[in-house]
Structure 1
Amino acid sequence: MSFCWTGRAPTRHHGRVSFVFALLASWFVGSPALAFMAPQIDVSRDQIVLHFGGRSGDAATAGERRDLSLALNISGDAHPAGASSRDVEPALPPFTFGTATKALRRYQVALPIPSSSRTLRLPHVYGDDASRPLVVIDAGHGGQDPGAIGPTDGRREKDVTLRIAKAIRDELIRSGRVRVALTREDDRFIVLQERFGIARKLHANLFISIHCDSVGSGDASGASVYTLSEVASDKESARLAARENKADIIAGVNLASTSADISSILIDLTQRETMNASANFARLLGREAQPLVPMKPNFHRMASLMVLKAPDMPSILFETGYISNPKDADFIDSPDGRHAIAEAVRKAVDVHFARRLALAE
């Protein structure tokens, strides 16, 4: 194998070549026809050429080659064919796959690297009075994620949760005491971080994620309310400080001007207070729901659930019943069942914010 550099600044190619070799390695593993052949590699300033079939001296001089010869253009001065300048990520140079001889080049495949985006599409907020607290209702699952599926009727959790979320929205709007937003109002997929991220972007005062429980076998039934566990809270606090580089506001305190130790303490204290508020609301919801909705005796549970990891907003996950239990499923997906769930949430929300208001005065 020959490996030679041309040009005066070989170090400028190191990162690009390493990336290309890593890509080729994964490609060869998935291509048995190529994996057994050790390629001959020629590297120049703007191109890497791999000769898989080997070359004889006379044939190479005459410009002949074998068909598996592959050239990779890594010049940062030109864009690949068919790609405009806005399609190519400026942080990395474009590269194209083609053959070593222009006469036999029939196509090119451009691989632009997409830029990351932290923007979220914020949902509509129902209610015009900005002084009212905001409750964000999250219908679990959606899109390509159906959630749990009923074993007898094929009922999908994503559809049931959306209908329940809309019933809760309507009940809260009728109360006139809060503003309401849904993380999704149709059948779409939302990643877990974006669910509570939407609520944080809207400066929500309460986050309620709606789900349906499921077991593989047995006749388990009843609703339960989950809040974040202590262990997950501590780990998430550390990740939050590192990920956002302190460039965020937690409970009205701008962390960008604080040291790493102080910001970690502030996040930890804020999330501990948030967890207490979440637990209080979970117990309150269970109390209000018991006369209306079949609840588990030990309805309040704690778990390390990603959707509950907002550090500065009380958050609960409401498992409204078992979609794997036909009796539970029929209840929570009926008009009467949805109304009962919505009424329980509305009563708990009313008491929750009445208490918060009393404490603030």
Structure 2
Amino acid sequence: MGRRALLVLPAAFPALGLAAPRSHLAAPAVHRGAKPPPPLVVLDPGHGGKDPGAIGVSGTYEKHIAEAASAELERRLLAGGRYRVARTRDRDIFIPLEDRVAIAQGRRAALFISMHADALHDPSVRGASVYTLSDHASDGQTAALAARENSADRFAGPQFAGTSPEVRAILASLVRQETRRESGQMARSVVASLRGRVALLDNPERHAGFVVLKSASIPSVLVEMGFMSNRLDEAALRRADHRADVASAMTRAVDAYFTVGSYMQTTG
């Protein structure tokens, strides 16, 4: 894959500014007649555990960047007091792709955001992008990206072997057009919030068949914060201030989505 497989020592992990693991997946008690709780946003830091994800040009692991950025986004979303927030993982553990979707479905999440920082053969390519689910990829680069992300379950062992093409086709068919429309709305909101604040790919709003986005009822986006194969992107993503800029922009995107989105129109 052209990646330099340089190891990152455990001591480098806290340097990314990760919060200590916390238990936040317990659903709040809701009593009859009580006001409904705030919408739940589930954040999904990509990869983890024995799956490092992309390995940067200086040896940084994608899984560490994804968790650090998700932790920062969680802090900002909670600080506003408008949402409940959960993460599919808050420590360095492996979670199969379908289990990540199941966590969001089981919690009845109102929005699912998967966070990544991939790598390409071409080290000159840089910039953030946002992906939604589609039966067909918007371009060849996106198709290859989805194939790499979907192959993460190869780390899980035989008991979590990837689903067959037939099953994947059925899962894709279950995704309602309404959910896809809302996912597209969120993707546009993220792109608009990131534009002018961080580097973006050309045509940054893209779509492909990502397994982790295949929920029939939850608007879902996958955010690629940049490319670990590009020195500038990797260096930026290692900095807490840059991750804070990304989290700030994504917080504005979430606010915009719930302000003008169908969720608020039907429940607000």
TM-score bracket, shorter-length normalisation: 0.7 to 0.9
Q: Write the letter of the residue equivalent to 1:133.
A: P
CA distance in 1, matches of 2:26, 2:190: 22
RCO (CA 8 Å, sep 6+): is it higher in 1 or 2?
2
Cα 1:159–1:237 change in 2 (3 A) is: closer
Cα 1:220–1:201 change in 2 (3 A) is: same
What's the TM-score, normalizing by structure 1? 0.55
Instruction: Classify the secondary structure of the residue corresponding to 2:252.
Output: helix
CA distance in 1, matches of 2:168, 2:179: 12
Q: Write the letter of the residue equivalent to 1:239.
A: I
The answer to whether the aligner puts 1:146 opposite 2:52 as a matched pair is yes
CA distance in 2, matches of 1:179, 1:156: 28
Runs (5+) with no aligned partner, structure 1: 1-122, 242-266
Residue 125 of structure 2, aligned match among 201, 217, 220: 220
1:225-304 to 2 correspondences below 5 Å: 225-231=130-136, 239-240=170-171, 268=174, 271-304=176-209
Residue 43 of structure 2, aligned match among 137, 141, 145: 137
Give the number of equivalent residue pairs. 211
- Residues 206-244 of structure 1, C-alpha deviation per residue, up to 9 Å, x if partnerless? 000000021123310000001001359xx7686349xxx
What's the TM-score, normalizing by structure 2? 0.73
Shift of 1:350: 0.6
CA distance in 2, matches of 1:125, 1:174: 18
Partner of 1:210: 115
CA distance in 1, matches of 2:168, 2:121: 34
- Residues 318-354 of structure 1, C-alpha deviation per residue, up to 9 Å, x if partnerless? 0000111111111122111111111111101111111
| Preserved CA contact (<8 Å) 1:127 1:180 | no
Partner of 2:94: 189
Cα 1:236–1:340 change in 2 (3 A) is: farther
Runs (5+) with no aligned partner, structure 2: 1-22, 29-34, 138-165
| Preserved CA contact (<8 Å) 1:127 1:173 | no
- Higher strand fraction: Structure 1 or Structure 2? 1
Determine what percentage of the aligned residue pairs are the same residue: 39
| Preserved CA contact (<8 Å) 1:171 1:342 | yes
Instruction: Classify the secondary structure of the residue corresponding to 1:322.
Output: coil
| Preserved CA contact (<8 Å) 2:136 2:207 | no
The answer to whether the aligner puts 1:198 opposite 2:98 as a matched pair is no
CA distance in 2, matches of 1:164, 1:222: 16
Shift of 1:295: 1.2
- Residues 98-138 of structure 1, C-alpha deviation per residue, up to 9 Å, x if partnerless? xxxxxxxxxxxxxxxxxxxxxxxxx6249968520000000
Greater gyration radius = 1
